[in-house]
Structures are given as C-alpha cells and as structure tokens.
Structure 1
Amino acid sequence: MTELSRRSLLVLGGASLGLAACGNGVGSNGGATIDARVDATRDYMLRSFPSTKQLLSKSVGVLYMPLMTEASFGFGGAFGRGALRINDVTVDYYSAASASVGFQIGAQQYAHALFFMTEKALADFRKADGWELGADARYALPDGGGAIGTDTTTTLAPVVVQVFGQSGLIVGASLAGTKYTRIIP
C-alpha cells in the first residue's frame, strides 16, 4: 500500500467538492428555478411530514434548501442553493456549502429546511455576512419516512433544522460545518 501525498489528498478533496456541486442547480436559470424547487420541496415536506405544518405556522421565516449534494472520500464537500421565505414569499436566495474531514466515503443528496422560531434569530441570519449553522439549532430527522416530531423543547430553540429526502449513502464519521451565504441568482 502506498502513502497518499498531500497533493493527492488535495486532489481528492477538490474532486469531492466538484462532485458536490453537480446536480444542485449550479448554472441553472436563477431565481425561477430555485423557487420552483423550493415550492416542490415545501409541498413534499408538508405532504410527507404533516406535523411540520404546526412548526411552519409558529416560525417567522424558513430557509428551504431543496437539493444539497454531498460527496466524500476522506475529505468531503456539500453544496446547494435555496430561498428564504417569510410568509411564504421569497425574500432572499442563499447558497449553503460545507466541508468535512474524517473517515468517510460516499455520496448523497438531501433537502433541509431551517425554521427560524424567533424574530431575533431571523434578523441575525439576514444581517450576517455568511452564517454558520451553530449549536443554537436543533435537528429533527424523519424516522424511516414517518412524521418529523416537534415538541415544546424543539419549538423553543431559535432555529430548528429538518433534514429529509435523503438518497444515497455516506459511511463514516466526520467533522463538518455548513455556511449559508446570500446570493444573487
């Protein structure tokens, strides 16, 4: 077995990030394409996980990321584009990018939504020059296609993140962070 050089690792990491950009709307027709994907994602989420209607009604804004594409081989990357909606009207477009390093291999696609539960959380997100998902967010994952559960503890969090629609497989453990940046499509 040969050792991987630093250059090989950089090439593999770059290839992972390049694969993550494939099929997620890069080079699309801009805002109209993103809005159409957001509409489809919102409708799917509400139809597949009816309990999200209650969460949606309590939130002051939602950032929908309809298609995140992730690929990894030691180094990994994910990328997607979405829209921030307030009262179900698009007010801004965002990209999300993450990088990870660890024992991991594979590729997957998924959607997620960030529910802003307080005006302060929404205002902080909108005025930030790039916002990184942090410890103040709660995650809710659907259990085998079942309902996404929310309770009083979850809805007291300033931001609730729901991940759904996963396809593909990533195996391993990694450290990752996701950064959201306002874009002009």
Structure 2
Amino acid sequence: MITIEREIMMIKTLMAMMLSFMILGCTTTSTDSLKNNMSERQKINSQVNETLVQLYKEAKGSEQMALQAKGILIFPSVYTAALVVGGEYGKGALRIGNKNAGYYQTVTGSLGVQAGAQSKAIILFFMTKESLTDFQKSNGWTAGAHANIALFKVGADGTIDTDTAKASIVGFVLTNGGLMFNASLNGTKVSKLDI
C-alpha cells in the first residue's frame, strides 16, 4: 500500500527527473547549434580562401588591390536558379586585414524570360574606409541602392584598369569558366548572418 508521503516523494522525484531531462535537452540543442555554427563558419572560411586564390590567378593585379582594400566581402558560391522567376543565394565572409569580421548572406530575385541554374563567386573590394563603414553599419545593404560598385575592367596590358582601381567598391564575378566581364551586381542584397 502506498502512503501519501511516499506518493508525494514519487511525484517530486518524477518532477526532478523531468526537469533534468528538459535542462539536458536544452543544453544538447544549444551545443548542437554551436557545433553547427562552427562547422558552417569553417566551411565558409575554407571556400573563401579557395576563392581568393582563384581570383588572384584570374585577375592580374587583384592581389595587390586586395592589399590596399579596407575590407573584402567574399561569397564563394552564389547559386542561381530560374524558371521565369529567378533567385540567387549564397553565404560568405567579410575580411578585414586577413581576419574575418563577420559572416553574410546574399539574396537576389529577378523576373523575366530565364531558365537554368549556375554557381558563381562574388567578391567586393571596399577600397575606402567610408564605403566599408557604410556597409558594416547598414541593416541590409543593396548594391546600386546603398552604393555603386565598379565591376572590374582589364586594361590593354592585362591588368586591372586604372579607372576601376579608383572606385570606392570594386566587384569581381568568377564562374567555373573564369572571370565574368558583363555581369551586373545591382540589386544584390546583403545581410549579416548570425553564425
């Protein structure tokens, strides 16, 4: 026969066990989230490094320009898919002085006669402190609306055109086939990731 005191003790024990499981569940979820974020950052960092190496090979003078840049925003893989309505999405990192200063995502939508899918890398060099600060302070930044981007041009000697080098933000677009010369970055939306 179970006494009332024993029944109360069993209820208290059961409640303590439930509370322990809830706390462990929250801790596990939080730990898993931290692990996933760390894994995501490592993946982005690795892809960013590979993209910069490819850029320096493809665009003569870009490595020297990178040394002068106040910050570089790199999206290693921006995926584009379209069937009348199109969209682009990618994750990347902002580098200031060879150190990460945040992680970002880009999202762009379009409408028109289009079909297909592809991947490209987008790299933005912030050549002035003002352009970098404006970008960092924005809560959602759009190319063409918040700042104009000069898409790089190559001069007669095969190096980056001097007019391009004078712009406050210089953009590069890379595909598997190399640099894209006729791309437009206007409308590219960028926001900070919390990872």
Q: 2:108 aligns with which of 98, 110, 132?
A: 98
- Tell me the equivalent position of 2:169: 159
How far off its partner does 1:50 sit? 3.2
The alpha-carbon distance between structure 1 residues 102 and 121, as it changes in their structure 2 partners (threshold 3 A), is same
Q: 2:51 aligns with which of 41, 45, 48?
A: 41
Task: Give the Cα separation in 2 of the matches to 1:141 and 1:68.
Answer: 21
Task: Give the Cα separation in 2 of the matches to 1:62 and 1:40.
Answer: 14
Unaligned runs of 5+ in 1: 1-26, 168-173
Q: 2:137 aligns with which of 121, 124, 127?
A: 127
* Greater RCO, 1 or 2 (C-alpha within 8 Å, sep 6+): 1
Task: Give the Cα separation in 2 of the matches to 1:128 and 1:96.
Answer: 14
Give yes or no for the alignment of 1:184 onto 2:188.
no
Task: Give the Cα separation in 1 of the matches to 2:166 and 2:56.
Answer: 21
SS at match of 1:106: strand
Q: Which has the higher strand share?
A: 1
- Tell me the equivalent position of 1:80: 90
The alpha-carbon distance between structure 1 residues 106 and 46, as it changes in their structure 2 partners (threshold 3 A), is same
SS at match of 2:187: strand
Percent identity over the alignment? 33
TM-score (norm 2): 0.70
Q: Which has the higher helix share?
A: 2
- Tell me the equivalent position of 1:53: 63
Give yes or no for the alignment of 1:32 onto 2:55.
no
CA RMSD of aligned residues (A): 2.6
Q: Which amino acid letter does the alignment assign opposite residue 137 of structure 1? A: I
TM-score (norm 1): 0.73
Unaligned runs of 5+ in 2: 1-36, 178-183
- Tell me the equivalent position of 1:63: 73
How far off its partner does 1:57 sit? 1.9
The one-character-per-residue Cα deviations of 1:113-143 (angstroms, maximum 9, x if unpaired) are 000010000000000001001161111278x
- Tell me the equivalent position of 1:139: 151
- Tell me the equivalent position of 1:14: none
Check the 8 A contact 1:98/1:176 in 2, yes or no. no
The alpha-carbon distance between structure 1 residues 42 and 148, as it changes in their structure 2 partners (threshold 3 A), is farther
**Which protein is bigger by CA-based radius of gyration?**
2
